[in-house]
Amino acid sequence: MKILIVEDEPSLCELMQRSLEKERYVIETASDFVHAEEKLGVYDYDCVLLDIMLPDGNGLKLLEKLKQMRKRESVIIISAKDSLDDKVLGLDLGADDYLAKPFHLAELSARIKSVLRRHNNQGDNFITFGNIKVQPDKFQVWVADRLLELGRKEYDILLFFMYRPNHLINKEVLAEAVWGDNIDQVDNFDFIYAQIKNLRKKLKDAGSTVEIKAVYGFGYKMVLVG
């Protein structure tokens, strides 16, 4: 799961980044309006943590632009401005939640999990497809009710596909989601092929009714077998 932190205070941004990376999120950051707008225009994220007071613009204007682009990112406004008007305007513009500074990192984590759960799996704690069941909060995967041991990147790849069954996934999009935005600068994607090969073998050996199929020249699709 990939998160963009839009925050101009370096110490707070670093603190949030370190805390969320420990929870296995892929974190990208932007310290001002211009860089945040650029990243949101080029890359996709699962969640955006958005400060209102930016040195070169208002975060709510960025939220407006994001919604105009019809992108699917969940948005949590994080701001020292704790007025009712800001909360109402932010939520009216399409934000999913509002968290006032100062806040505890545990509360931030809980808010992110709640927003992602509502956005991606209709509030359910589990995601299912075929005989695969994933519990994102615990990073656990079951195949036919048996716990499946996966490496971290194998799990991240599987979770990405579980949110998008039967969708054709470009390999560059998959790489950015699992490894971060700068991965678009690499010369080849051999590391993805290796991880997916291992994941496919583990799913097959476990008796999964789901397969990640290669689509020549484009990427992959998760489908039911048979």
Indicate the Cα dihedral angle 225, 168, 129, 190, nearest 10°: 80
Q: What is the pLDDT of residues 7-18, one digit of tens each?
A: 999 999 999 999
How far, in Å, CA of 27 to CA of 57, rounded?
22
Confidence of residue 226 (pLDDT cuts 50, 70, 90): low
pLDDT at 166: 95
- What mean pLDDT do residues 72-94 have? 85
Cis peptide bond prior to 55, omega within 30° of 0? no
pLDDT at 125: 85
**Residue 38 phi, psi (nearest 5):** -65, -45
- Identify whether the C-beta of residue 210 lies closer than 8 Å to the C-beta of residue 129: yes
- CA-based max dimension of the chain: 56
Give the HSE-up count for residue 221: Cα atoms under 13 Å, Cβ half-sphere.
10
Burial 153-170 (b: 16+ CB within 10 A, else e): bbbbbbbbbbbbbeeebe
pLDDT at 113 over 90: yes
How far, in Å, CA of 104 to CA of 120, rounded?
24
β-partners of residue 211 are 223
Q: What is the pLDDT of residues 126-144, one digit of tens each?
A: 999 999 999 998 999 999 9
Cis peptide bond prior to 165, omega within 30° of 0? no
How far, in Å, CA of 222 to CA of 225, rounded?
9
What pTM did the predictor assign? 0.89
pLDDT at 155: 97
